[in-house]
A and B are shown apart, each in its own frame.
Chain A
């Protein structure tokens, strides 16, 4: 491992708190690719960068990264951004208004905070719990889960992390026995 890779690995470990080193070791090449992508200057199709940061933070609470990958590793933000200019254009107004409401709610609950994404995780969860019945939250929740589990060609489920979580094998055809009990 070169010095450059080593330092990048250290950066990743420190920036991805909660991800187990065992998981990192197993998925190392994929994580490097994902992180390098995330650090490129990304042009979003729908979001402004600061809007993307807010939705990304919401997605990260909805499907968190803990001892296994979550919405961030699946790059759900890319999925949602792409969805809003393709199959989910209907939801654009929900996001536009929802982001304004999210900002107002953040100011209301935490007057010192500049952005939702700048809140501490516990504060984010507290705020999201207070809006979890709104159409905006429900839409982001559904889009986050879709972004984890849709085919990677739609921008999320990076390196099939979502499918690996649920043991879903990506093959066109199968032959029996399929599972443990029909062997």
Chain B
């Protein structure tokens, strides 16, 4: 595998190796450019078939060197509901390993629907929000969705319905089993006139591109896939980048600054290696793909005389319009065993409430409905039981009665972009490297609470129609951070109202590209990964053409 010295000016330095960064690294390396990928996480100890085990404890409490997620005690962060509060220690985490969040995510890979790119034109703006059209249309992105699905390896079924995005080509791999949750969804759907479709997932159900099929082991979302059937960036894309012998992937590399020269161009990045030595890697172009929360933080950490308010932040919008996604639903108890712990976490979805129906419902919003039972025994025993007691005979009885009979409808619901929902630097708290910690400030728009209540009510209805003996409705609760962060470096044509242009180049910096969930203008239905990857394929396509012509100023 090729190794570059830090003083070698590589063509591209990619920060982050998840859904956005890995696509960029692979496309740029295959096109003939020299690439260094900096990933703060380790290589990740999973997917070694000879060691295959389903030990929940070892996987929940891995040695730090094998952890797959960030650690709030190291990647410290603080949280507050609004700017008048003092932020308290937060528990925001994200995928932190080669492959980023794609290593541990549930795998849902839904496209945005065409109208999710121009909601302001279609449904109007909403007071107190930054709802705006994207500078790109579905038609422009469609070929890149197809490319992403076929190159990454996505399973699903092309269903001819306005409730799913139109596709120029079917999915490359047949869908996952529907499970008992899917069968019960179908029972409810036939009574309520709803539409059930198989999940669309980055999990292969037949051998594909040299990888074996999913064995339905059940230790899925939250865990590294032991048989490499989950099409994470780490197994589907980065090996191709490395194989070019032009791409070096450096794990355990924590970037603290993107450096600029006096002409206002980036020159590379300074990072801490595993021994906490500071290293400057020189590069012609920097691609920032550190996720919707770390990307704005790194831009704010990279302030300089030339960019006193943070890099690429002349609009003042770096870190603003944070969307982390809302949820809420209900849980039902069924007579017979569901065995949802077998197979992947999501087998099917109800898609009727994905579109807006502002006139009928009286609010903006929509979401995708999925269902799941308990997946792993310890997690279930510790926190999965509906019971007022938390120990003793009553708790044990509830635990046994509910196990394997309980199904939770979990919904992926829209969240509006609000300017005061932000990622910035905490003035007091430092991370384990001595850098200002990330501070998250967020309160959902009033409209979002109505959307959550709507989905809780629909979930109750569906569980009852499916024959549940008992139903517990969730309480409406606001999001606090976590995966799926979007919106914090929004794209647009107007440099005063956005951070990057339609090809992901920073308006302020000609050789800086920002390619991850932070580019989103509106949030979609809280299933962002496939759109991040498709946008990255599109950005890479344009960047490769520009770079080959000798000028990345696209």
| A68 / chain B contacts, CB cutoff of 8 Å | 396, 400
Chain B 381-394 per-residue mask, 1 if CB under 8 angstroms from chain A, else 0? 11000000011110
Which one, A37-45, A98-106, A160-168, is touching chain B? Answer: A160-168
Q: Knowing A87-B57, A168-B377, A173-B216 touch, does A66 contact B400 (C-beta < 8 A)?
A: no
Pick the residue among A125, A132, A182 that contacts B177 (CB under 8 A): A182
A46 at the interface (CB under 8 A from B): no
Which one, B148-156, B334-342, B482-490, is touching chain A? Answer: B334-342
Q: Are A66 and B179 in contact (CB under 8 A)?
A: no
Q: Are A178 and B216 in contact (CB under 8 A)?
A: yes
CB proximity to A under 8 Å, residues B133-189: 177-180, 182-184, 187
Chain B 20-32 per-residue mask, 1 if CB under 8 angstroms from chain A, else 0? 0000000000000
Q: Are A181 and B380 in contact (CB under 8 A)?
A: no
| A179 / chain B contacts, CB cutoff of 8 Å | 179-180, 336-340, 342, 404
Pick the residue among A87, A163, A178 that contacts B377 (CB under 8 A): A163
CA distance in complex: A63, B381 (Å): 11
B85 at the interface (CB under 8 A from A): no
Q: Are A178 and B179 in contact (CB under 8 A)?
A: yes
Chain A 115-126 per-residue mask, 1 if CB under 8 angstroms from chain B, else 0? 000000000010
In this complex, what residue of B is CB-closest to A149? B377
B209 at the interface (CB under 8 A from A): no
CA distance in complex: A150, B393 (Å): 20
Q: Are A182 and B400 in contact (CB under 8 A)?
A: no
B224 at the interface (CB under 8 A from A): no
Question: Is the interface on chain A under 10, 10 to 19, 20 to 34, or 35 or more residues?
Answer: 35 or more
Q: Are B390 and A141 in contact (CB under 8 A)?
A: yes
Q: Knowing A141-B390, A174-B343, A180-B337 touch, does A149 contact B381 (C-beta < 8 A)?
A: yes
Q: Are A178 and B57 in contact (CB under 8 A)?
A: no
Q: Are A165 and B403 in contact (CB under 8 A)?
A: yes
Q: Are B400 and A166 in contact (CB under 8 A)?
A: yes
Q: Are A64 and B392 in contact (CB under 8 A)?
A: yes
A176 at the interface (CB under 8 A from B): yes
Q: Are A176 and B217 in contact (CB under 8 A)?
A: no
CA distance in complex: A51, B179 (Å): 46
| B338 / chain A contacts, CB cutoff of 8 Å | 178-181
Which one, B48-56, B455-463, B492-500, is touching chain A? Answer: B48-56
Q: Are B403 and A62 in contact (CB under 8 A)?
A: no
Chain A 37-70 per-residue mask, 1 if CB under 8 angstroms from chain B, else 0? 0000000000000000000000001111010101
B2 at the interface (CB under 8 A from A): no
B399 at the interface (CB under 8 A from A): yes
With both chains docked as a complex, state the minimum distance between the C-beta of A127 and any C-beta of chain B, in angstroms.
13
| B184 / chain A contacts, CB cutoff of 8 Å | 181
CA distance in complex: A180, B342 (Å): 12
| A174 / chain B contacts, CB cutoff of 8 Å | 215-218, 342-343
| B403 / chain A contacts, CB cutoff of 8 Å | 165-168
Pick the residue among A146, A153, A176, A178 that contacts B55 (CB under 8 A): A153
In this complex, what residue of B is CB-closest to A157? B377
| B177 / chain A contacts, CB cutoff of 8 Å | 176-178, 182
CA distance in complex: A175, B403 (Å): 20
In this complex, what residue of B is CB-closest to A70? B396
CA distance in complex: A149, B179 (Å): 24
Pick the residue among B54, B337, B343, B380 that contacts A172 (CB under 8 A): B54
Q: Are B334 and A162 in contact (CB under 8 A)?
A: no
A77 at the interface (CB under 8 A from B): no
| B392 / chain A contacts, CB cutoff of 8 Å | 61-62, 64, 125
Chain B 335-354 per-residue mask, 1 if CB under 8 angstroms from chain A, else 0? 01111111100000000000
A9 at the interface (CB under 8 A from B): no
Q: Are B381 and A141 in contact (CB under 8 A)?
A: no
In this complex, what residue of A is CB-closest to B405? A167
Main secondary structure, interface of A, reads: loop
B88 at the interface (CB under 8 A from A): no
Pick the residue among A63, A70, A148, A178 that contacts B180 (CB under 8 A): A178
CB proximity to A under 8 Å, residues B25-63: 52, 54-58, 61
Q: Are A151 and B343 in contact (CB under 8 A)?
A: no
| A63 / chain B contacts, CB cutoff of 8 Å | 391, 395-396
In this complex, what residue of B is CB-closest to A167? B404
| A142 / chain B contacts, CB cutoff of 8 Å | 382
| B435 / chain A contacts, CB cutoff of 8 Å | none
B65 at the interface (CB under 8 A from A): no
B378 at the interface (CB under 8 A from A): yes
Interface-central residue, A61, A128, A167, by most chain B CB under 10 Å: A167
CA distance in complex: A63, B392 (Å): 5
| A19 / chain B contacts, CB cutoff of 8 Å | none
| A128 / chain B contacts, CB cutoff of 8 Å | 391
CA distance in complex: A162, B334 (Å): 21
CA distance in complex: A61, B392 (Å): 6
With both chains docked as a complex, state the minimum distance between the C-beta of B205 and any C-beta of chain A, in angstroms.
11
CA distance in complex: A178, B183 (Å): 11
Q: Are B336 and A181 in contact (CB under 8 A)?
A: yes
Interface-central residue, A150, A166, A181, by most chain B CB under 10 Å: A181
CA distance in complex: A162, B374 (Å): 15
A31 at the interface (CB under 8 A from B): no
| B341 / chain A contacts, CB cutoff of 8 Å | 168
With both chains docked as a complex, state the minimum distance between the C-beta of A57 and any C-beta of chain B, in angstroms.
13
With both chains docked as a complex, state the minimum distance between the C-beta of B392 and any C-beta of chain A, in angstroms.
6
Q: Are B396 and A172 in contact (CB under 8 A)?
A: no
Q: Are B339 and A165 in contact (CB under 8 A)?
A: no
CA distance in complex: A169, B376 (Å): 11
CA distance in complex: A172, B183 (Å): 24
Q: Are B57 and A151 in contact (CB under 8 A)?
A: yes
Q: Knowing A64-B392, A178-B179, A179-B179 touch, does A154 contact B57 (C-beta < 8 A)?
A: yes
| A163 / chain B contacts, CB cutoff of 8 Å | 377
CA distance in complex: A149, B339 (Å): 16
Q: Knowing A151-B57, A167-B337, A167-B404 touch, does A180 contact B215 (C-beta < 8 A)?
A: no
In this complex, what residue of B is CB-closest to A156? B57
| B395 / chain A contacts, CB cutoff of 8 Å | 63
| A151 / chain B contacts, CB cutoff of 8 Å | 54-58
CA distance in complex: A179, B340 (Å): 7
A-B CB contact pairs (8 Å), 11 listed: A64-B393, A146-B57, A151-B54, A162-B381, A166-B380, A167-B403, A173-B217, A176-B216, A178-B177, A178-B338, A178-B343
Given contacts A154-B57, A180-B180, 5 further A-B contacts (CB under 8 A): A66-B393, A168-B377, A173-B215, A177-B180, A178-B343
Interface residues of B, Cβ cutoff 8 Å to A:
52, 54-58, 61, 177-180, 182-184, 187, 215-218, 334, 336-343, 374, 377-378, 380-382, 390-393, 395-396, 399-400, 403-404
Q: Shortest 3 CB-CB distances between A and B: which pairs?
A: A180-B336, A166-B403, A179-B180
